[in-house]
Amino acid sequence: MTTKKLGKQTVAFASPPSIAGHANVVGKKEGEGPLRASFDLINQDDTFGESSWEKAESAMQKLALQNALDKAKQAASTLDFIFAGDLLNQCIASSFAIRGQGVPFFGLYGACSTMAESLTLASMMLDGGFGEWAAAMASSHFCSAERQYRTPLEYGGQRTPTAQWTVTGAGAVVLAREGDGPYITHATVGKIVDKGIKDANNMGAAMAPAAYDTLSTHFSDTGRKPSYYDLIVTGDLGTLGKGIVLDFFHKDGVDLQNLDDCGVLIYDAQGQDVHCGGSGCGCSAAVLTGFLLNGMREGRWKKILFCGTGALLSPTSTMQGESIPGICHAVAISTQKGG
């Protein structure tokens, strides 16, 4: 008999995993933004000493994981599982970063929702008693994403007003079956929602309906009101997508005053020319493992609902005229084990 399922899509963990360590690595542009103080490592060279953008992205993941393990006072050999993903074909940034670690590995693809997806699956694994330690992480790189999804930087293509800037960054979380918190208490697994948006430069509009669907489901499944949380953070809808979600809830008579978005938080929209904000797997991963979790440890927030959003497109689907499916996974994080 199912004892941990709430409603349609939500899991309530019986033994909420503890966040034992968390760390991030970002590039130069991210380090010039408003969250600079929350990043563990800001590299002024976006190649990270490597010969390609793709290798640089793997280097970021390795650095983020090692820093998170150091904070948790654990070695990689302690980990029972690693869950990781990125935006590149066949998730090569993650698999190449993990090779040599000697740890069982799950490669994930949830686009920009990957950090929330990895946290959900790692938490399920530990709560189920299948291990004592697990790592969840994700990354993206502006240059590797531009090469794959749009055109190489050398082309100098112009960006539309609705476009978002792919974050060069990686974030890693080390989870323990026992610990002092913060704790992963609930997870609402999202469904694919597709409203027919076909513009690959307007991912905020493509993902917003999925965010609305998952948030509505989470509140229904748990019986919680939005005000239960000190902060609800999507990632990464950008300014346009965030506005759409607020409008959806406003029509329901709900005022989400505590809603923010990782893509909005990570850059200075006026000073850094990022149009609608940040995007990429590394966006929510870097904001979560820095600004958000640091804030919880400092007592700024006690309860956060972290909602990773993803646009599940590929270069092939875009060229074939397909619409862009969206998805959102919500993870409840609390400084108290009872949630």
Q: What's the pLDDT band for 148 if we cut at 50, 70, 90?
A: confident
The pLDDT assigned to 269 comes to 84
Q: What's the pLDDT band for 202 if we cut at 50, 70, 90?
A: confident
User: Is the same domain home to 189 and 327?
Assistant: yes
* 273 occurs within a structural domain: yes
User: Is the same domain home to 198 and 88?
Assistant: no
Average pLDDT (232-244) is 95
User: Is the same domain home to 142 and 12?
Assistant: yes
Residue 169 forms beta bridges with which residues? 26, 140
Question: Residue 250 has which token pair?
Answer: 């406003």
pLDDT tens for 149-171 read: 766 555 556 667 677 778 999 99
The mean-pLDDT minimum among 16-30, 192-206, 291-305 falls in 192-206
Among residues 154, 176, 198, which one ends one of the domains? 176
User: Is the same domain home to 21 and 114?
Assistant: yes
The pLDDT assigned to 26 comes to 98
User: Is the same domain home to 196 and 167?
Assistant: no
The pLDDT assigned to 227 comes to 97
pLDDT at 139 over 90: yes
User: Into how many domains does the chain fold?
Assistant: 2
Q: What's the pLDDT band for 35 if we cut at 50, 70, 90?
A: very high
The pLDDT assigned to 154 comes to 56
Domain extent, residue 83, equals 5-176
The pLDDT assigned to 173 comes to 98
Average pLDDT (295-304) is 98
At position 236, the amino acid (one-letter code) is D
* 156 occurs within a structural domain: yes
pLDDT tens for 2-14 read: 689 999 999 999 9
If you search the block for the tokens 């970002």, which residue do you land on? 26
Q: What's the pLDDT band for 172 if we cut at 50, 70, 90?
A: very high
SS (H, E, C) 288-339: HHHHHHHHHHCCCCCEEEEEEEEECCCHHHHHCCCCCCEEEEEEEEECCCCC
The pLDDT assigned to 130 comes to 98
User: Is the same domain home to 149 and 260?
Assistant: no
Write down the pTM of the prediction: 0.95
Q: What's the pLDDT band for 147 if we cut at 50, 70, 90?
A: confident
Among residues 159, 176, 193, which one ends one of the domains? 176
User: Is the same domain home to 123 and 65?
Assistant: yes
DSSP assignment of 175-237: EESSSSS-EEEEEEPPPPB------TT-HHHHHHHHHHHHHHHHHHHH---GGGSSEEEEES-
User: Is the same domain home to 190 and 327?
Assistant: yes
User: Is the same domain home to 261 and 287?
Assistant: yes
Asked if residue 309 lies in contact with residue 213, where contact means CB atoms within 8 angstroms, the answer is no
pLDDT at 55 over 80: yes
The pLDDT assigned to 155 comes to 53
The pLDDT assigned to 270 comes to 85
The pLDDT assigned to 338 comes to 78
CATH number at residue 302: 3.40.47.40
Q: What's the pLDDT band for 211 if we cut at 50, 70, 90?
A: very high
Q: What's the pLDDT band for 319 if we cut at 50, 70, 90?
A: confident
The pLDDT assigned to 275 comes to 79
User: Is the same domain home to 129 and 223?
Assistant: no
User: Is the same domain home to 102 and 160?
Assistant: yes
Average confidence score pLDDT of the chain:
94
User: Is the same domain home to 192 and 138?
Assistant: no
C-alpha span between 137 and 323 (Å, rounded): 28
* 339 occurs within a structural domain: no
Q: What's the pLDDT band for 85 if we cut at 50, 70, 90?
A: very high
* 25 occurs within a structural domain: yes
pLDDT at 327 over 90: yes
Residue 334 forms beta bridges with which residues? 183, 303
